[in-house]
Each structure stands twice: as structure tokens, then as C-alpha cells.
Amino acid sequence: MAVATTTQTGARPWWAGRRPPTPAWVGTVPFLAYVGVFLLWPTGIVVVDSLKNPNGAWAFSNISELGNPLVRGYFIGSFKLCVLSSVAGAVLGAILAYAVASGDPDGVGRRLYIAVSGVLAQFGGVTLAFAFLVTIGPVGLLFHASWYFDFPWGIGLIYTYFQIPLMVLVFLPAIDGLKVQWREASENLGASAWQYWRYVGGPLLMPAFLGALLLLFANALSAFATIQAWENQIAYIVPQQISTALSSEVGLSNVNVADLLALGMVILVAIVMTGYALLQRRAARWLR
Amino acid sequence: MAAVTALNESAAAASAGRTRGMQAGRRRRLNVFRYVVFTVFGLFFLLPLLAMLRFSLEGAKLGTWSLTAWRQIASYQNTGIPPLLSAIEITLELAVITCAVMLVLLVPTMIWVRLRVPWLARTIEVLCLLPLTIPSIVLVVGLGEIYNRIQHYSLSALMLFWVYVILALPYAYRALAAGLGAIDVTTLSEAARSLGASWFTVIVRVIAPNMRQSILNAVLLTWSLVLGEFTIAYLLLYTNLQVELYSISRNTPNAGVLFSTSFAALLFAFALLMILSYVGRRRRGRG
């Protein structure tokens, strides 16, 4: 940082020398304070409150309530929905990503697909439930699916609508990273298309694919708006139950239910995202 | 975040002419595969949108066409919930405030950290990406208490911007980091400093203009995030656009205005991203 010191003298402020200079990190205080108040503090509240009973006394035994069959039911519901929608989304999204990647890299088609994916990946929310309601729901224009309100199939299908575009966005760089030379080399050595994918392309893409799968899983796990607009009478998944617990304090006695469920979600997402980060690092090795 | 990477890097990263190295027969089969895939997925993505569009144009009688629902966007009101237009206004105002606060908070901090306190860079990155791993439903549980305190002073839904900035952090951070990484920050700041510029001038008038594209990127992503936010507003009992639509759908399940408003919002988001994608390309071509 020798450079910084020399440049500093050039514009020495008028008060220089009258008091010791403020250390540079002070400039980041507004940001750190903001994040502290609106991100770290609320998260801290969740963690602390989940370990207390409603009277404010410490109760570490609360953690064991995560194994309570009622609570477990919501986590199992979340898990089913996330697995269904992320596996379907990842497989279908990977196929679509490959179709997009094998086209003209500067073409209009590709540009359009990426822009559309960008919008549709964000197109969760209330609106998506409306759109499917009038497509295959009870008032559907296309057909009336009898399983539309079945959990997890109906809502799983709706979720793939934003999972596939997200997969395309996340997975496209990985497919772009496959070098033409690798395919040429394997073809020169007499490999069939199947052999190329089985022994070259597949293994190379696998870490990226699994990483993307985990990202999709986390994405589905925290989604709330769509399922709430789809069916708001019955709570199937954890976020719905958190919502119910926040608006009415019924349920498990002696436990801050919402906080406990929220803590469970944080733990789950943390595990999934750690896996994602590790796999991304592994995938990055080839995709330079 | 994904959108940013894709938009910035896709065209450049793709190796030109992926299919060139392939044998003719295989290339033909690949093309058949591509067209089938595009058709099937195109239908899957288009049909719900078309159904929504059709419902937004439904007349009073089933099967007729009319523009009533689109006209209603400006005037729709139902008992027990605020008028639709006020919810739209609030959401747009929230989007503007959130973008402004996000920029003021994040841009100077990121440049400052880059120039003067690089040892904090990793911490800042982790903090910025943290909201990705903390679902907004979790954030809301903890925020409930903080907002209860704030509510003593003001009850406006505009107060939501405090959290929305947090939600936008990961997306904005990645967009800005890409822009910051692409320019030679140290040289620019040394040049400006040796000409007598203050740190304020360096950040606001020298470096920030050089990352215009990524600032635009960050703004648009933040913008679309705010327009689509439901969870936090709903659980803190504020009414934004999505909550309003939800309430309308509870009262009158198939109100045409639901579909016209949703469709309009979607078109809006799409137009923004298209603009972004084209602006990005032009800049790259020149540089």
C-alpha cells in the first residue's frame, strides 16, 4: 500500500496534522451497520428466540421439537416438493440449455432465450399460480387437470416453470465451457456420441449439474408466494406453516414455533448451499 | 445473480461455431433435436402466458372479447382492500427508493473497499451474498420484532425498502463486482488523486461513471426484484402490488384485472431485461 500513502499526501486535507487520520475501514461502517441491523440482527433474533420459550426463558430442548412429527411433516412436505421440482427442473433445464448452447452463440435465438429465462426465473410469485390456474386449473383453457390441487404434483409442475429457466441460466456457462476440441479429439479417436457423453462430456458437466441441482433445491425451499396463491387453506410446506404460526400463535406449546421452523430452514439451506459452493469450486476447475 | 452472469458473459464465452467440428449426419440429428426441444419448451412456457392473456381479454360473457380488464387497472377497487392503483404506485415508489439506497450504500463501499481496505473485501462479499442463504420467510420472522418498533413512528408501506435493499444485495453485488473487476480501479484513482481529486470525486466522478453498465444492471435487477416481492410485504401486513393481487384473488378468484395487471407487469419486466441485454452488447462492441 505504498502507492496509497504517496497519493494521499497529494490531497492532504486542511485538517491534516491536527488530529490523527481516521483509519480507512471507517468508510465501510455505514454499510456494515446497515447489514448488521437488517440482516444479522433479525437472523440473530430468530436463532435466539428459537432457543427460548414464549416467556423468554432459555429452553435448549426446543431443538428436539424439530423432530416432533407435526413439525417433521412440514419439512417432509418441503423436501418432497423441492426434490420433485429441482430434479425435474434440472434435467429438463439441462436439455434446454444444451439445445440453446449448440446454436449460434451470437444469434437472436440465444439472446432471446437468455432474456426470457431471466424474466421467467424471477416469475415465481402470485402471478404464476394465476397463470396455471387458467391453463390447467379448474377454469383452465387447455384442460382441467384433476390433479391440479394435489400435493406435490400440481404445485411441482408449477414450480418447474421457474426452475427450468433458472437451470438454463446457471448451467449454460458450464455447457459453453465444453471445448470443441474435446469433442473433436474423441471423434478422432472413434468415439460415438454416446461414448462422448458417457466418458467425456457427462463427467465434466456432472459437478456443475449437481451444483445447479442444489441451487434449484434451495430456490424451491424458500419459495412461498406461489404455493400460498395456489392453495392457502392447507399448509403443506415449512414457509406456509411459518406464515400460519406468525399470524396465529397456535400449535406447539412452549415453543416459538415460527422461530423454530425458521431455524430449521436456515440449517437446511446452509447445508445445501455449502454443498453448492463445494461443487461449484470442483466444476470451475474445467470451465476456464 | 444468474441473470447477470449469463447476460454479461454468455455471448463472449461461447466458443464460436460449436457445431463446426461435428460430422454432417450428427449435425443434422442435432438440429432435429434442437427444434423439437425448442417447440416443446416453447409451448410449455407460452401456454400459461397465453391463457393469462386470453383471460385478461375476456368479456362479460364467457368466450367474448373485451378490453375492460385492461382499463380496470387504473380504476379497480374492491371492498376491504386498498385500490389497485395505490398499490401499483407504492410498489413503483418502493422500487425507486430501494434502487437509490442500494446504490448509495453499495457502490461507494465496494469502490472504497477495493481501493483502501482490501482486507475487508472477503467479509463484504460474504455479507452481500448471505441473503441468498437466508430465505426471506426467515428474515421476516426476525424482522417482525424490529418492524414492530419502527411502526411506532411510521406506518407507510414505503418502510419496506429497508429490507428490500437487503434482498437486493446479492444480485446488485454480483452485477457491480463484475463491473468493478473489468476496470483498472487503482490506476484510475491514482491518476485522479495525483491531479488533486478528493476521494469523493474519485468515487462519484471517476470510477462510478466507468461502471455505468454494471450499475444499470444492478438497478434493473433490484427493480424487478421489488416488483415481484410478496413474502415480506404479506407477512408484515403491508400492501404492495403482489399482496394486492393476492387479496383480489381471494375476494374474486377470476377477476379479469388480475390477469391484465399480471401480464402488464410481466411485459414490463421483459422489456427491461431486453433493453439491458441490448445495451450490454453495444457497449461491448465498442470497447
- Assigned domain for A77 exists: yes
Instruction: Kindly write down the DSSP assignment for every residue of chain B, as one continuous string.
Output: -HHHHHHHHHHHHSPS-TTTTS-HHHHHHHHHHHHHHHHHHHHHHHHHHHHHHHHHTB-SSTT-B-SHHHHHTTT--BTTB--HHHHHHHHHHHHHHHHHHHHHHHHHHHHHHHHT-GGGHHHHHHHHHHHHHS-HHHHHHHHHHHHHHHTTT---GGGGHHHHHHHHHHHHHHHHHHHHHHS-HHHHHHHHHHTT--HHHIIIIIIHHHTHHHHHHHHHHHHHHHHH--HHHHHTT---HHHHHHHHHHHSTT-HHHHHHHHHHHHHHHHHHHHHHHHHHHHHHH-
The pLDDT, as a whole number, for residue A143 is 81
- Contacts (Cβ under 8 Å, ≥6 apart) of B185: B111, B114, B115, B207
User: What are the grid coordinates assigned to A2, written together?
Assistant: 505504498
Cα–Cα distance, B188 to B198 (Å, whole number): 13
Judge contact between A105 and B14, C-beta under 8 A.
yes
pLDDT at residue B251 greater than cutoff 50: yes
**How many CB atoms neighbour CB A3 within 10 A?**
11
Residue A135 included in any domain: yes
Any chain A CB within 8 A of the CB of B24?
A: no
What pairs with residue A58 in β-bridges? A52
Give contacts of B120 with chain A, Cβ < 8 Å.
Answer: 25, 28
Identity of the residue numbered B76: Y
Residue-range definition of the domain harbouring residue A280:
69-284
- Closest CA–CA distance from residue A264 to any residue of chain B (Å): 10
**Is position A50 within any domain?**
no
8 Å CB contact of A28 and B41: no
pLDDT at B153: 62
Rounded to an integer, what distance in angstroms lies between the CA atom of residue A18 and that of residue B208?
Answer: 31
Q: Indicate the SS3 state at residue A285.
A: coil
**pLDDT 10s digits, A248-286:** 655 554 557 788 888 888 888 888 888 888 888 887 776
CA separation for the pair B249, B243 (Å, rounded): 10
Residue A49 lies in a domain: no
Residue B5 is predicted with a pLDDT of 40
State phi, psi for A5 to the nearest 5 degrees: -70, -40
B240 touching chain A per CB within 8 A: no
CA distance B259 to B64: 16
B85 compared with B154, residue with greater pLDDT = B85
Q: Return d(Cα A77, Cα A236) in angstroms, integer.
A: 6
B192 — phi, psi (to 5°)?
-65, -40
Q: Which three cell numbers stand for residue A126?
A: 402470485
Tell me if A162 sits within 8 A of A128, measured CB to CB.
yes
With vertex at residue A219, the alpha carbon angle to CA B34 and CA B106, rounded to the nearest 5 degrees, is 105
- Within 49-88 of B, beta carbons closer than 8 Å to A belong to 49, 51-52, 54-55
pLDDT tens sequence across B9-48: 444 444 444 555 566 777 788 889 888 999 999 999 999 9
Per-residue pLDDT band at B285 (split at 50, 70, 90): very low
State the nearest Cα–Cα gap between A91 and chain B, in angstroms: 13
Mean pLDDT value of segment B209-220: 87
Evaluate whether residue A197 is within a structural domain: yes
Average pLDDT, chain B: 82
* Min Cα separation A137/chain B (Å): 11
Q: Do A102 and B30 touch (CB under 8 A)?
A: yes
pLDDT in the model for residue A59: 75
- Which residues in chain A are closer than 8 Å to B105, comparing Cβ atoms? 30-31, 34
B279 has a pLDDT exceeding 90: no
Q: Does the residue A180 lie in any domain?
A: yes
Residue A143 lies in a domain: yes
Query: Cα-Cα-Cα-Cα dihedral of B177, B183, B186, B191, to 10°?
Result: -140
pLDDT-flagged residues of chain A (< 70): 1-20, 248-255, 286-288
- CB contact at 8 A, A116 and A122: no
Q: Cβ of A5 under 8 Å from any chain B Cβ?
A: no
Chain B residues whose beta carbon lies within 8 Å of the beta carbon of residue A103: 34
* A99/B163 touch (CB, cutoff 8 Å), yes or no: no
pLDDT tens, position by position, B77-88? 877 778 888 889
Q: Residues B122-146: pLDDT tens digits?
A: 999 999 988 888 888 888 888 877 7
From the list B156, B162, B166, B164, the residue with the least C-alpha distance to B133 is: B166
Provide DSSP, A104-154: -TTSHHHHHHHHHHHHHHH--HHHHHHHHHTTTSTT-SS---TTTTSTTHH
pLDDT band at B150 (very low <50, low <70, confident <90, very high): low
CATH number, domain of A202, equals 1.10.3720.10
A73 is a domain residue: yes
φ/ψ of residue B55, rounded to 5 = -70, -30
Confidence (pLDDT) at A8:
47
Whether B228 sits inside 8 A of A123 (CB atoms) is: yes
Domain count for chain A = 1
